[in-house]
Amino acid sequence: MAEPSRAAAFRNATTGASVELSYAGISTFLKGAPRDVEDVSDVDAAALGIPYDGAVSNRPGARYGPEAIRRASGWWAYLSDYKGGLTNMWTGKQVNFDDLTVADCGDVPVFPMDEELTAESIRAHVATVAERTFPVILGGDHYCTFPAVNGFAEGAGHDRVGFVQIDAHTDTVSESPVFGTDFHGSSTALIADSPHTEFADVSQVGIRGYESPDFFEFADETGLNLYTMREVDERGIEAVVADAVAAAAADTDAVYVSFDIDGIDPSVAPGTGTPVPGGLTARQALQTMEVLGASEDVGAVDLMEVAPQYDPTGGTPRLASYLLVTLLERQFAE
């Protein structure tokens, strides 16, 4: 029988050698095992990165979002491993992330000069994961959500998919004289025009800033479930999100959640391409994911538009990873 290597002998003999520090090792989401998209049937969730920002209308940089979110997410995996489980001081519940099995399927192939081929790639890879487990999409600009929703519907076998969007913007521009019909400001319009989703299945939370002069009439006519930032201030975030997910789930088979990081106030999350003042606080954003994560209707989630170079503190990708961890904790680890 062969003698163990010196490395193996050291690891076997040294307490703590099996604990990987948050900043050590290969960066995968929550330090999940690297897997092929076809090999995720035995895990609770699988992460897919989309390093693409070819459809932005303002500052680029979301192509670096997946890498930054993965790196930041290592902290929660380290804490759980180091402490042997965690107490959530907000909920008071015991959480063991060992109960949450996550794989990381790496990044979807993207083609920076070919938006159509990139969308086809996203759709195919998300469909492959959705056929097997819960997809966690790391963006990438918000245009990528359009093919991801279609891929989720096709892979999971859903005829009709509800859509909950946390965002500063509605992304309902059907066509721009500058950007055309396919850019990050048109993603929700494209989703609502797809075979799987109508505007009546769409709930938007945290909308603020400016839209077209007749936007409220448009929302009424299409049945769009609109929850502006003013309504969040007046009613409270938990009540609004509960109504939003109920509306999106009412006549659909499952709900896809899309969180644009610019839904959060830029004083908290400046690392994004199109920041708008007056957004959600960090606590409101986390409460949003707590409510959504507790819903059995939610079948997929993405976190989009993180552009880490605009936040030298690293706070934006750190909060983005915390948001995803919060939703997954409610779904699988409580």
Left (φ > 0), alpha (ψ -120 to 50) or beta: where does 77 sit? alpha
Pairwise CA distance, residues 128 & 136, whole Å: 13
Pair of tokens at residue 257: 């959640």
For residue 312, give the 3-state DSSP assignment: coil
pLDDT of residue 323 exceeding 80: yes
Q: What is the mean pLDDT of residues 139-148?
A: 96
Could you tell me which residue, 20 or 314, shows the higher pLDDT? 314
What is the percent of the chain where pLDDT is above 70?
98
37-48 pLDDT, tens digit per residue, is: 999 999 999 999
What is the percent of the chain where pLDDT is above 90?
78
- Residue 179: predicted pLDDT: 77
The most distant pair of C-alpha atoms in the chain lies apart, rounded to whole Å, by: 78
- Residue 125: predicted pLDDT: 98
pLDDT of residue 84 exceeding 70: no
Q: Which residues define the annotated binding site for Mn(2+)?
A: 142, 167, 169, 171, 260, 262
- Average model confidence (pLDDT) for the chain? 93
- Residue 60: predicted pLDDT: 94
What architecture is domain 24-163+255-333? 3-Layer(aba) Sandwich (3.40)
For residue 284, give the 3-state DSSP assignment: helix
Residue 298 β-bridge partners: 255
pLDDT of residue 120 exceeding 90: yes
Split at pLDDT 50, 70, 90, the class of 92 is: confident
- Residue 21: predicted pLDDT: 86
- Residue 102: predicted pLDDT: 94
Q: What is the mean pLDDT of residues 33-58?
A: 95
Residue 225 β-bridge partners: 203
Split at pLDDT 50, 70, 90, the class of 186 is: confident
Q: What does the domain layout of the chain look like in residue ranges?
A: 24-163+255-333
- Residue 89: predicted pLDDT: 84
H-type alpha helices, the chain:
6-13, 65-83, 115-130, 145-156, 187-192, 215-222, 229-235, 237-249, 282-293, 315-328
- Residue 175: predicted pLDDT: 73
pLDDT of residue 174 exceeding 90: no
Q: What is the mean pLDDT of residues 20-43?
A: 92
Split at pLDDT 50, 70, 90, the class of 83 is: low
Pairwise CA distance, residues 164 & 42, whole Å: 27
Alpha-carbon distances of 103 from 82, 154, 155, 245, rounded to whole Å = 20, 21, 18, 26
Of 23-37, 144-158, 294-308, the one with minimum mean pLDDT is: 23-37
- Residue 257: predicted pLDDT: 98
260-284 pLDDT, tens digit per residue, is: 999 999 999 999 999 999 999 999 9
Of 10-24, 45-59, 292-306, the one with minimum mean pLDDT is: 10-24
Split at pLDDT 50, 70, 90, the class of 81 is: low
Q: Give the distance from CA 163 to its chain's centroid.
A: 13
Q: Which residues define the annotated binding site?
A: 142, 167, 169, 171, 260, 262
Split at pLDDT 50, 70, 90, the class of 99 is: confident
Pairwise CA distance, residues 168 & 166, whole Å: 7
pLDDT of residue 164 exceeding 60: yes
Left (φ > 0), alpha (ψ -120 to 50) or beta: where does 137 sit? beta
- Residue 77: predicted pLDDT: 79
- Residue 183: predicted pLDDT: 65
